[in-house]
Amino acid sequence: MARSTRETERTYAVPDADISWLPALAGASRIASVADQGVQELDAVYYDSSDLRLTRSHASLRRRTGGTDAGWHLKLPLPGDSREEIQAPLGAKDAPEELRDLTLSRTRGAALRPVMRIRSSHSLHHLLDAEGDVLAKLSMDEVSAEALLDDKGRTAWTEMEVELVHSDPALLDSVEKAVRKRGLHQAQSPSKVLRALTETTSILQHATEARADLEPGTAGSYVLAYIARLVDALTDLDPAVRRDVPDSVHQMRTTARRLRGCLRSYRPVLDREATDPIRRDLKWLAGELGQERDHEVLRERLTSGLRELPGELVLGPAEARLKVWDVARQTEARRRTLEALASPRYLNLLQDLKSLTEVPPLHAAKAVGKPGKVLGKALRKEYRRLARRMEPALAMVPGPERDTAIHHARKAAKRLRYASEAARPALGRPARRLGKRVKAVQRVSGAQHDSVVTRDALRQLAVSAHAAGEPGFTWGILHGREAAAAGARERQLPQAWAKARAAARKKAPWS
């Protein structure tokens, strides 16, 4: 069973392995002393695709022997100086299936093979506080690397790593200030394997770059930058979804929706013949993830509603019935999510998204246009679509037809919000203000829709309870509360819409 840890460290290039000055680190921040832990001999073989897809996406997979944590290590990037390290037992020489699955969003199904062997003489020291607790680990590594690809290159260097154990990240700044006085500077390469591959093979030098010759500041450059961020986010979220990290399904579903919305809103910039199939696959992915996400929202709403009721209003085995309902639906929703991520359609989508960022199908005339004109026109079009849906919805009498109309207007609000996010770096404050106001519309209408869905679930629970001879009183109480909550949201919606409408009509590139 794999286990996950967060690794926060900095790496420094050093001219040699001299460590005589290390005791001088005592006094930096909370460091009281430096304890020598001896030398470990580490031997790691790194696995990647033949075109180094893991390395290019700032991830790595290795099988390492020696030291105290021998085994398989998958490292995934996190913000700043941190990485997530997922470890599995040493086992066979083939990567464990669990770790291979966690690389799929980066390899896109390409086979993994040994690409680099790195051996290190690892001189380890602990940086201790006054109580003797370990704040950080400092290692001086004499590294030798041998490429296992066709060109079989070799290289060697010395580096120093400082990794936090139980301390505030500010400790790294204090250590860095001290080591800079010794002439040490952070290494240019963020990992051993990236440096080794860069120095021993030409593959990374020939990495495919985006072929869109777009000047910075053009409409197309802003759209492509937004798409690239979302594709990276989708790639990074995949391992978290597979491991059932809290909120990861929600984030991945929202990212897929943002991508789909962007491709729709900015069709004048990107050829729809190329992007429409991607939009369809993104809609499919969001739908497959939707069952699990919708269940998460509904479960939380029902659980909290039941928990908040006074004890005298909870009649019969309501909690037990809710647990049975939850388990049955959660199991099915989870199965559907994992099957989607294991499907050929998903892998094809990942490849299409990668191609979209590398070789974007641009409409040249619009892509090189002024962002105020091109992006502003797209925002104006999305706003008009929202207005055509919202105005009639607000004029309807309360009931199922109005609920459906508000739900469709909410979808249009999402598209306008996502379009404004892509345009924000170009259009600045007006786009930011519009996005903020439309988000409020989306939030209010979303809460109203959640109440509609919850009332339907409560009715089903009441029917099941009645069939089993249980009282339905509690479910009826909750249904009434949800109806009242929905009414409150509907009364808030006209004001939220008025503010969004004012933001859209205010002098701006799209007005």
Q: Label residue 52 left, alpha or beta by phi (over 0 means left) and psi (-120 to 50 means alpha).
A: left
Of 92, 95, 99, which Cα lies nearest the Cα of 113?
A: 95
Q: In this predicted model, what pLDDT tens digit does every residue of 413-437 receive, in sequence order?
A: 999 999 999 999 999 999 999 999 9
Listed in sequence order, the DSSP H helices in 108-218 are: 170-180, 192-200
Task: Report the mean per-residue pLDDT for the chain.
Answer: 92
Does the pLDDT value for residue 209 go beyond 70? no
Lowest mean pLDDT: which of 163-177, 311-325, 398-412?
163-177
Work out whether strand 134-147 and strand 82-88 pair parallel, antiparallel, or are unpaired.
Answer: unpaired
Provide the phi-psi class of 143: left if phi over 0, else alpha when psi is between -120 and 50, else beta.
Answer: beta
pLDDT exceeds 50 at position 393:
yes
**Candidate from 26-30, 291-295, 390-394, 488-492 with smallest mean pLDDT:** 26-30
DSSP state of 57: T
Single-letter residue type at 469: G
Reference 217, options 425, 445, 509; nearest CA is 425
pLDDT band at 510 (very low <50, low <70, confident <90, very high): low
* pLDDT tens track for 89-104: 988 778 999 999 999 9
Q: Is 410 strand, coil or helix?
A: helix
Q: What is the pLDDT of residues 444-467, one digit of tens each?
A: 999 999 999 999 999 999 999 999
Residue 367 to residue 410: CA distance in whole angstroms: 29
SS (H, E, C) 235-254: HHHHHHHHCCCCCHHHHHHH
Fill in the DSSP letter of residue 75. Answer: E
CATH 2.40.320.10 fits 3-206, yes or no: yes
- For position 327, what pLDDT does the model report? 92
What percent of the chain lies above the pLDDT cut of 70?
97
Q: Tell me the C-alpha distance between 332 and 297, whole Å.
A: 15
Token pair recorded at residue 154:
């070799």
**Structure tokens, 57:** 């996406």
pLDDT digits (tens, 9 = 90+) for 338-368: 999 999 999 999 999 999 999 999 988 888 9
Among residues 305, 338, 340, 336, the alpha carbon closest in space to that of 319 is found at 305
Q: Do the Cβ atoms of 125 and 35 come closer than 8 Å?
A: yes
Q: What is the pLDDT of residue 3?
A: 85
Segment holding 490, helix H or strand E: helix 473-505
The phi-psi region of residue 48 (left if phi > 0; otherwise alpha if psi is between -120 and 50; otherwise beta) is beta
Query: Crossing angle of helices 272-308/248-265, nearest 10°?
Result: 140
CATH number, domain 209-369, options 1.20.120, 1.10.20, 1.20.272, 1.10.287? 1.20.120
What stretch of H or E contains 48? strand 33-48
Phi-psi sector, 38: left (phi>0), alpha (psi -120 to 50), beta: left
What share of the chain has pLDDT > 90, as a percent? Answer: 81
